[in-house]
Amino acid sequence: MCGIAGIIRFDDGPIDEAVARAMLDRIAHRGPDGRGIAQRPRCVLAHARLSIIDPPGGAQPMFAPAYAQHANLAVVFNGEIYNHRPLRAMLEKHGHRFHSDHSDTEVLLHGYRQWGTDLLRRLEGMFAFAIWDEQRCELLLGRDRVGKKPLYLLRDGHRLAFASLPAALIEAMPGRRPRIDHGALCTYLQLGYPALASLTEGIEELAPAHWMKVDAEGRSEVGCYWQLPPVSRTDTKVGLVRAVRELLESAVERRLEADVPLGCFLSGGIDSSIIAALAQKLLNQRGMPPLKTFNVGMGEIGYDESAHARQVAMHIGADHQVIEAEPADVIGDLEHLTAVMGEPTADSSILPAFLLCRHTRRQVKVALSGEGGDELFGGYDRYRAMRILARHRPWLRLLPAPWFDSPDPRSRRRRFARLLHAARHREPARQYASMIGLFDTSQLRELGLEVPAGGGPIDDWPVDLPPAKAAMHWDLAHYLPMDLLRKIDRASMAVALEVRCPMLDAQLYELAAHLPESVLMPRGRPKQLLRQAAADLLPPSILRRAKRGFAIPIGQWFTGPLRRPLTERLLDGPLTDALHLSRPALERLLHEHTDRRRDHTHRLFALLSLSLWLSWLAHPTTPPAAAQAQPA
């Protein structure tokens, strides 16, 4: 796990090494164990290293000298390749000579020599990398299947820059004068994230499961090497419970390889509990010390899962620790994360994630996590809601939604009101947008924004799938990589912690994505197949638990200790001064929420984060490397 950056020029002008070093400064927090820059004609590569595998032999940029028919290659790489050992053995049989002991980075160099872009489909892991072919003057950029590791691009007339974060690419902008992408801004306020376009105009993200080749003349080629599998038309369950269990075990086992201390996040929900239980079981078999597990306590009963996490830890024999979340440092932490990311986030769970990662990093350098379980196995209430709408929309749309609304975001009345709002729409895509969205088109216009033609945040709905399965596939392609995986990457790498997600193992991912909803969640029961696969691992009370999101009670804090700083940043800051949002519309949102008439938690947090980002964008600061983390 690291940070990468670089520039390729399409003309004979010199590479500005000062710009490359400024980009490297922006990603230094991702890799405090080493820094390197390699400058070549027309190309410069930069790397900040977090050493996990083969610390002595994995320094980057890494080079493969020319020999026989092979040209000089150089690579910068962020991530982990879990099948690097069998790939290395295969490449050695083809005659490739390795110089490191067991570096997974070196596999990329020889793998590219042997297979070209076909290398990417052979890789199992999380990765973003850039390989420079000196003979061809050609740069290959590649990203993992589901988007665990980020890779952003900035192109102007005579060069292409790439980096792990938008903040680094701002350093490569001419005159460092970033402008706001108003289309991405609308998407951010509608969905909570700006899709593949950054809010900074000109910066975009290479899509998951894609590669890009760029030559020194500026010609580029983009390819997709993997897609979601087709959904099965059969609902047979024969052998599936055993298959899921075996894939889970192998996925966890592969992610236990590390030359540094390793731990596990444990929320008390089923996903992280399964991962922790399997990891502890494997460690027991190896005669190793108990797994270190980590959890955030929220203080508020409706949000706190620490008692369930303690129960799981005691059941499996883990060494467990709980960190308490407090409202005191929310603004400071969010300002720091904004400087790390270079763009805002509307997902308030990045705050407890950052707190968890910061504490975890003081004891271990790698942590396992349960990301992906909900999207793959049907864990969200909204999937059940799509099933309900498919059957009962004709009469649900007749009920008055305002009668059932509630200022409590976690109440049954509030969930039912959202279901009724969604029932007003005929098309499943618009129903789903209603359930997951922050601001709708009319609300954006009330804020004073011009909404692009079409105005809807979902334009590639899988129309050939049943509504619930279509929602799961849409989340796998959008919400998972563009919100959840961005969040965990940025929160963890802000303190130089590597996070691995066994649920997103390629084989397990493909199996779950292939199965119909009737198998994953029979009769609408969330994660039923996953629960059956883990039946002997966890206490029955944990297996039966309903999902509770990883969240902090920030909506309540907005009416108490955070009310004043929220008001100041929404009404007397860049939202009204620079972005010219409507002050009356902002005041209405604030007053309705603080008077407890309506719940606007997610909208207010999105606006708060946007305000902090606009302030940072006016005077970009560089965050300290691995802030407040004490290396394990």
For the segment 138-179, what is each residue's pLDDT rounded down to a tens digit?
Answer: 999 999 999 999 999 999 888 999 999 999 999 998 776 789
Q: What is the structure's pLDDT at 506? A: 95
Residue 545 has pLDDT above 90, yes or no: no
Residue 412 has pLDDT above 90, yes or no: no
- For 584, other C-beta atoms within 10 Å of its C-beta total 10
Q: What is the structure's pLDDT at 615? A: 94
Residue 217 has pLDDT above 70, yes or no: yes
Share of the chain above pLDDT 90, in %: 74
Structural class in CATH, domain 2-224: alpha beta
Q: What is the structure's pLDDT at 568? A: 94
The average pLDDT across 354-377 equals: 95
For the segment 499-531, what is each residue's pLDDT rounded down to a tens digit?
Answer: 999 999 999 999 999 999 999 999 889 999 999
- Supply φ then ψ for residue 209, to 5 degrees: 65, 25
Q: What is the structure's pLDDT at 301? A: 56
Alpha-carbon span 253 to 260, nearest angstrom: 16
Which segments of 27-103 does DSSP mark as H helices, in order? 84-93
DSSP 481: I
Mean pLDDT for the chain? 91
CB 525 within 8 A of CB 381: no
The average pLDDT across 555-561 equals: 91
CB 128 within 8 A of CB 144: yes
Which segments of 7-125 does DSSP mark as H helices, in order? 17-26, 84-93, 104-115, 119-122
Q: What is the structure's pLDDT at 547? A: 73
Helix axes 350-361, 330-341, angle to 10 degrees: 90
Q: How confident is the model at residue 630 (pLDDT cuts 50, 70, 90)?
A: low
Alpha-carbon span 377 to 520, nearest angstrom: 6
Alpha-carbon span 96 to 110, nearest angstrom: 7
Alpha-carbon span 338 to 268, nearest angstrom: 29
For the segment 90-101, what is each residue's pLDDT rounded down to a tens digit?
Answer: 999 999 989 898
Domain boundaries for CATH 3.60.20.10 within the chain? 2-224
CB 477 within 8 A of CB 245: no
| Helix, strand, or coil (residue 342) | coil
457 vs 340, higher pLDDT: 340
Q: How confident is the model at residue 238 (pLDDT cuts 50, 70, 90)?
A: confident
The structure's pTM equals: 0.95
Residue 455 has pLDDT above 60, yes or no: no
Alpha-carbon span 463 to 165, nearest angstrom: 33
Q: How confident is the model at residue 300 (pLDDT cuts 50, 70, 90)?
A: low
Alpha-carbon span 223 to 195, nearest angstrom: 19
Fold designation for 240-322+348-377+481-543: Rossmann fold (3.40.50)
Alpha-carbon span 534 to 290, nearest angstrom: 20
Q: What is the structure's pLDDT at 68? A: 62
Q: Count Cα atoms within 13 angstroms, Cβ side, for 363.
A: 16
Residue 619 has pLDDT above 90, yes or no: no
Domain boundaries for CATH 3.40.50.620 within the chain? 240-322+348-377+481-543
Task: Label residue 158 exposed, middle or buried (CB < 10 Å: 0-12, 13-18, 19+).
Answer: exposed
Q: In the structure encoding, which two tokens stand for residue 333, read together?
A: 């932490």
Alpha-carbon span 487 to 340, nearest angstrom: 12
For the segment 562-592, what is each residue's pLDDT rounded down to a tens digit?
Answer: 999 999 999 998 999 999 999 999 999 999 9
- In degrees, to the nearest 5, what angle opens at C-alpha 430 toward C-alphas 426 and 432? 110
Q: How confident is the model at residue 627 (pLDDT cuts 50, 70, 90)?
A: very low
